[in-house]
Chains A and B, each alone.
Chain A
Amino acid sequence: MGSIENLVTQIQGLSGSIDDIAHLHNILKVADESLHAEPSALSSVLDQVDPAKHSLGYLYFLEAFTSGPVSKEQALTLIPILARFINCCDAQQIRFAPDKFVSVCKRFKDHVLLIESPLRGVSPMRAAVRKLQTTSEHLTTLHPDFLLLCLLSKSYNIGLSVLEDDIFDVDQPRDLFLYCYYGGMICIGQKRFRKALELLHNVVTAPMNAINAIAVEAYKKYILVSLIHYGQFSTSLPKYASSAAQRNLKNFCQPYIELATTYSSGKIAEFKIYVDTNREKYDNDKNLGLVKQVVSSMYKHNIQRLTQTYLTLSLQDIANTVQLGSPKEAEMHVLQMIQDGEIFATINQKDGMVRFLEDPEQYKTCQMIEHIDSSIQRIMTLSRKLNAMDELMSYDPLYLSKVGRERQRFDFDDFDTVPQKFPI
């Protein structure tokens, strides 16, 4: 206990400047093993250290104190302590020991799940993500945990705030898979289908040597969201998708591929029969709700197709063509689509006629110009990033060593100034 008291004194004295904190970190690393030897002795010590001012020291104590399995009752006690630390800790200090900070945050997530109260974890985990990130482009291992809590607590809006950041820097590939899959689900929950497709597409086309379960589930949702949003789906994957995905993904998603094929016929009655026949499979995957949205979307896309042929059409004709029960139902669908900006039309309730209009957008408003300008800026930033990444890759020893190993297989004419071997 004497050595812990000394450690507390050192933490209180060395939490000022960056140099002091770096020195403190070396001391804590040496003391870490002894802290883990008697974690129960640390409970009284935590009160002597300020989580905001002495964040690094507090982190080491807290990490040792919370190691090991806990019961529900213990979790209830620990959760406010962990939440308070995460919310008020100094980001600069905890970045000296990111692994420990991640451990503490993951335990916090496990505890809130243990007591079945994911909502309690949302705000602290968002704070944790922001503190661990070096920049907003950095995907940390805490991002998926944060999104998981948002999904479980149905806090989709809060999850969206993190998803707006463009990610360029990833710690672990698994984090990217999970981030994009969970993120896709959050966007589906908010009906941001285009953004959902972007994220799910990233999972499906990410590099993988073996077929990945996350990619399989992402592909199922990708098919459904593609049908909802675009009214169509193509089974061909882009060239840059991995060969593992190209060869195997469809085999794991057959009921969904067949659903898309049936959808493409445009026949609602047949489609509904197919859905009912395979209901259990979609239900087991927890995708039945999304499949029902696909069914609803068929009416919508069939109505949209009418706007390409007709200038005016009666509600009765719309109901007959789209296989709705009555003109009233057709009116409800058309009204909703007008409200959502999916079609441009007016309804004359006197004679029950719908007039389809052209898109009034002239692309010359200030708002549109700003939108185009920001898109251009974004593309230019992306282009610069790609060039920088390309250049970095050209210096990468791993890449160069593989290139060097392949040297002897080339034709004499292909020889150039690249050295023959790159020893690693």
Chain B
Amino acid sequence: MHPRVHLHKQLERGTGWTTVRERERAREKMRPTPMDYFAELEDQGTTVAMDVDDVDPLEIFGGEGVLSVDNKLADADFFNAFEDDFDDADIN
């Protein structure tokens, strides 16, 4: 396994010491699987997720994050005052 990818996975795990056995298990998880290039984009339930660890994503932007971390919704002031234009009864 590429050393950079290996360290990336260690970082995500965030559990401190990692044994050789755990590293080998991680290597097995990272083994590439054939990709179905022609699969249609299905709904969320059948979407093939990327083969990543089952942990929180790496927060590469640090503690503060890209968006403000309040208890409120971020970007709550965004413009969303559109008319409801999707009623087909208007067309039919």
Residues of A within 8 A of B (CB): 148, 151-152, 154, 173-174, 177-178, 185, 188-189, 194, 197-198, 201, 207-214, 216-217, 226, 230, 232-240, 242-243, 252, 283, 286-290, 292-293, 296, 372, 375-376, 379, 394, 398-399, 402-403, 406, 409-411, 413-414, 416-418
Contacts and interface: CB of A to CB of B under 8 A. Distances in A.
Given A289-B87, A296-B88, A411-B20, A211 B37 contact: no
A207 B57 contact: yes
B65 A209 contact: yes
B44 A233 contact: yes
Would you call the interface of chain A mostly helix, strand, loop, or mixed?
Answer: helix
Would you call the interface of chain B mostly helix, strand, loop, or mixed?
Answer: loop
Interface residues of B, number: 53
B56 interface: yes
10 contacts: A207-B61, A209-B61, A211-B74, A212-B67, A287-B84, A403-B7, A409-B10, A410-B17, A411-B23, A418-B7
A232 B46 CA distance: 11
Contact of B86 (A188, A403, A414, A418): A188
A398 B62 CA distance: 9
A38 B78 CA distance: 33
Interface of B: 3-4, 6-8, 10-11, 16-20, 23, 37-38, 41-47, 49-50, 52, 54, 56-57, 59-61, 64-70, 73-76, 78-80, 82-89
Given A152-B82, A173-B66, A418-B7, A410 B43 contact: no
A156 to B, nearest CB: 9
Contacts of B66: 173, 207-209
A312 B74 CA distance: 54
A123 B34 CA distance: 45
A212 B84 CA distance: 22
A290 B19 contact: no
A287 B83 CA distance: 9
Contacts of A289: 84-88
Contact of A410 (B10, B69, B78, B84): B10
B36 to A, nearest CB: 11
A417 B57 contact: no
A240 B19 contact: no
Candidate in A201, A213, A287 with the most chain B CB atoms within 10 angstroms: A213
A239 B56 contact: no
B18 to A, nearest CB: 5
B85 A189 contact: yes
A198 B40 CA distance: 11
Nearest to B42: A230
Given A213-B75, A234-B44, A240 B50 contact: yes
The 8 closest A-B pairs by CB, nearest first: A234-B45, A209-B65, A289-B87, A289-B86, A213-B73, A238-B49, A239-B49, A286-B84
A219 B42 CA distance: 16
A399 B41 CA distance: 31
A399 B7 CA distance: 11
Contacts of A216: 73
A398 B17 CA distance: 23
A194 B60 contact: no
A59 to B, nearest CB: 26
B82 A232 contact: no
A213 B76 contact: yes
A402 B69 CA distance: 21
Given A188-B86, A209-B69, A238 B47 contact: yes
A208 B85 contact: no
